[in-house]
Copies of this chain bind each other. A is one copy, B any other.
Amino acid sequence: MTAQQQTSNRSAKVNSFRVMTVMHRAAELEATGQKIIHMEVGEPDFTTAEPIIDAAKRALDKGYTRYTAAPGIIKLRHLICEHYQQNYGVDLGCEQILITPGASGGLMLLTNLLVESGAGILISDPAYPCVRNFIHLAGGQPQLVPVGRSENFQPTVELLTSYVSDSTRGVWLASPGNPTGTIVDREQLSAIARWASSHNCHLLVDEIYHGLHYVDDLPTALEIDPSAFVVNSFSKYFGMTGWRLGWIVVPESCVEVANRLAQNLFISSSSIAQHAALAAFEPQTREILESRRDAFRLRRNFLAQSLRELGFGLSDRIDGAFYLYASIERFSSDSEAFCHDLLERFGVAITPGTDFGEQEGLKHVRFAFTTGMDELRSGVDRLAQALGR
């Protein structure tokens, strides 16, 4: 191999997702006529709500097909400001909000903004794998904090204190988290924010599953720490995955640098998607989204109970997102083989924990309830059969 064919060392640290292999194989089996129950997919099964679609068409008719300002159209940033005011009681300056091409764009911007070469970022294990990869690409070091059922899969101040090092410059939280569906409650978030501040660490919080929570109180980090960096998205609660639209919130002191990065990294986010997203905050859209949230809640209730009955180990408090992270210790010590077998022999597609965790990934699998109740019931029946229950 000549140097010409060599790819960067950095890119070698970026894993592919095992869920892609699962999805690919599931599609192959479907092509042979087999019926597959999909509980692997990390996006809502609902099409984008009609009022958002209609707003996109109006934007097309008006010819809104050019670049927007790098941080996004003012109207949308205003609506997001209002959203924080109304739903969280947080007053932000509009300029603190930057629209990004999906949460992916937000993660990229924040890691480039904050992660120094060689800097350590504390992050739970398991976690959404892209975050580790973005930290690697920025030249930083993900410092994995193993969390299990006893911590409800979220870091504690005690754990952070055990894993902090001289190079640590940030703490990365996700609430609700993927793959676990657990949240960081107000008290814990306050404690972690204080800890981060006293350790001179940035606090970065993934809130992309906000809205899809099943408890009354889910605070944004901004209620507790105005210097926190937050990434959010129109993908999950707002049901706009394929549009690629998200946002970040940065403190005033970083607005100027964040804007420069946005100009360079993206030029702008999709104009049509931004204009469509204006309708995401309308009452009629909210009604649709809330009824979808109710559907997710019912699915969670059903699937969590069924899996517990089948012998999977689950957290007691799964309060958000559309995932269950289940221990398979009673059945297997190899989640990849377990998932493979389930797919090949029983037509059930789920994701091995090795996509998310380095420490206990082989002992866990992720179920996504991104499919209807009838499908979930069939899935549970097939699992019962597979496990001989």
**A residues neighboring B (CB under 8 Å):** 1-5, 7-12, 14-17, 20, 43, 47-48, 53, 56-57, 60, 63-68, 70, 101-102, 104-105, 108, 112-117, 129-130, 133-134, 137-139, 169, 196-197, 200-202, 227, 239-244, 251, 253-254, 257, 259-261, 263-273
3 smallest CB-CB distances across A and B, nearest first, come from: A242-B271, A48-B65, A47-B63
A254 to B11 CA separation, bound complex (whole angstroms)? 11
Q: Across the interface, do A266 and B10 meet the contact criterion of CB distance under 8 Å?
A: no
Most chain B CB inside 10 Å of its own CB: which residue of A43, A65, A138, A254: A65
- Closest chain-B Cβ to A273's Cβ sits at a distance in Å of 7
9 A-B pairs with C-beta separation under 8 A = A8-B112, A43-B67, A56-B60, A57-B57, A101-B101, A112-B137, A130-B264, A242-B271, A244-B267
A386 to B132 CA separation, bound complex (whole angstroms)? 55
A242 to B63 CA separation, bound complex (whole angstroms)? 10
Q: Across the interface, do A243 and B260 meet the contact criterion of CB distance under 8 Å?
A: no
Q: Across the interface, do B60 and A253 meet the contact criterion of CB distance under 8 Å?
A: no
A267: which B residues are within 8 A, CB to CB? Answer: 102, 104, 244
A227: which B residues are within 8 A, CB to CB? Answer: 4-5
Q: Which residue of B lies closest to A169 (CB)?
A: B3
Q: Across the interface, do A8 and B138 meet the contact criterion of CB distance under 8 Å?
A: yes
Which of B4, B53, B66, B129 is within 8 Å of A200, CB to CB? B4
Q: Across the interface, do B57 and A4 meet the contact criterion of CB distance under 8 Å?
A: no
Given A5-B254, A8-B115, A197-B4, check contact A263 B20 (CB 8 Å).
yes
Which of B16, B114, B202, B265 is within 8 Å of A260, CB to CB? B16
- Closest chain-B Cβ to A20's Cβ sits at a distance in Å of 7
Given A20-B263, A63-B48, A266-B101, check contact A113 B242 (CB 8 Å).
no
A272: which B residues are within 8 A, CB to CB? Answer: 56, 242-243, 272-273
Q: Which residue of B lies closest to A270 (CB)?
A: B244
- Closest chain-B Cβ to A162's Cβ sits at a distance in Å of 21
Given A57-B57, A65-B239, A272-B273, 8 new contacts (CB under 8 A):
A7-B114, A7-B254, A14-B261, A17-B263, A43-B66, A64-B242, A117-B139, A270-B273
A110 to B200 CA separation, bound complex (whole angstroms)? 34
A268: which B residues are within 8 A, CB to CB? Answer: 242, 244
A253: which B residues are within 8 A, CB to CB? Answer: 1, 5
A260: which B residues are within 8 A, CB to CB? Answer: 11, 14-16
Most chain B CB inside 10 Å of its own CB: which residue of A64, A115, A244, A251: A244
Q: Which residue of B lies closest to A5 (CB)?
A: B253
A117: which B residues are within 8 A, CB to CB? Answer: 8-10, 117, 139
A265: which B residues are within 8 A, CB to CB? Answer: 104, 108, 137
Given A60-B56, A112-B137, A264-B14, check contact A67 B241 (CB 8 Å).
yes
Q: Which residue of B lies closest to A103 (CB)?
A: B267
A43 to B67 CA separation, bound complex (whole angstroms)? 8
Which of B5, B66, B134, B244 is within 8 Å of A251, CB to CB? B5
Which of B5, B60, B263 is within 8 Å of A53, CB to CB? B60
